[in-house]
Structure 1
């Protein structure tokens, strides 16, 4: 590892610590915030315990405990999937959606918004590359926004107006902006 790489790694570690410390000062634990953020951005196919487990890269037990705590606090509700009774869908409650307005991560947003568009684009593409590489090394799922997936079909006749060619389901414009566990580059 060269000194530049080590410096970047140290900066990422410090930033992660700042984020987790801010989250730790609130009424929710950092893992609970991460789960709420994911659920608020995930599409209907990805709001499941197994998708959350893959996304967070933690154990099923950790996700189960996190979801149980969020359910006890009235921030989420679990529903059996109508099509597959073994599957559970997780929905944010109104209280869960509301608490995201107090997300401690928003404090960091102010610093990020000071960057120019060019800096933002460079930072985003660099971090996406680092994350994708790290996930590939660990055989993790990439996740991604539907409209950037190779299976996303824009403005099709049998869509609303879009379609997922992998799952063979119509997608609204709003759904196409959500995170999907099936995302493929």
Structure 2
């Protein structure tokens, strides 16, 4: 993923706006700052998870399974919840199963139906990662009080709801 580390100055943005009249300097600046922040947070999370031998996709699958009371789900439901294709989920599950963290359980009556189960080894990985993850999230967010966090979630929700303008 390409990231813009050197965000444009207001002067540069004004030059763009002179050439492209639809450019709202304040909106573009805020948008680029949001993209840069999201990218940096994602990269930092990748580095953190790598120290625990994980990639984000595999970590999310373990979390999604743990969220289920039965610790089980279907591959298609996992793909939908993770926002990835079924083919991508198949690859994630292949690796997790190869590492003994999850197990595919085939329906006895219809082998096309599969359930994925979080195994104790997968739970142990989460148990090793999550306390450190939560400490780091707390440290990241400590500069915002509850009101600011609520406002941030509301503002980001508004942006997420309008993201289809790029579709």
Q: TM-score normalized by structure 1? A: 0.60
Residue 98 (1) aligns with residue 124 (2)? yes
Q: Which has the higher contact order (CA 8 A, sep 6+)?
A: 1
Residue 136 of structure 2, aligned match among 105, 108, 119:
108
RMSD: 3.0
Superposed, which structure 2 residues align to 1:15-94 within 5 Å?
15-42=41-68, 47-81=73-107, 85-94=111-120
Greater strand share, structure number:
1
> Could you list the runs of 5+ residues in structure 2 that have no partner in the other structure?
1-26
Residue 67 of structure 1: how far off its partner (Å) = 0.6
Q: Which residues of 2 match residues 96-175 of structure 1 at below 5 A? A: 96-103=122-129, 105-112=133-140, 114=142, 115-134=144-163
Cα distance in 2 between the residues matched to 1:133 and 1:92:
35
Unaligned runs of at least 5 residues, structure 1? 140-185
Rounded Cα–Cα distance in structure 1 between residues aligned with 2:161 and 2:64:
17
Give the Cα–Cα distance (whole angstroms) in 2 for the partners of residues 49 and 138 of structure 1.
Answer: 29
C-alpha distance in 2 between matches for 1:126 and 1:74 = 40
Kindly state the Cα deviation for residue 128 of structure 1 after the two structures are TM-superposed: 3.6
Q: 2:33 corresponds to which residue?
A: 7
The number of residues matched between the two structures is: 137
Alpha-carbon distance change, 33 to 125 in structure 1, aligned in 2, over 3 angstroms: same
For structure 1, which segment, 111-120 or 25-34, has the greater mean C-alpha deviation from structure 2 after superposition?
A: 111-120
Residue 126 of structure 1 and its aligned partner are, at CA, apart by 3.1
Q: Deviations over 1:139-178 (max 9, x none)?
A: 9xxxxxxxxxxxxxxxxxxxxxxxxxxxxxxxxxxxxxxx
Q: CA deviation at 1:107?
A: 4.6
CA gap 1:2/1:14 in 2 versus in 1, 3 angstroms? same
Give 1:87 shift: 2.1
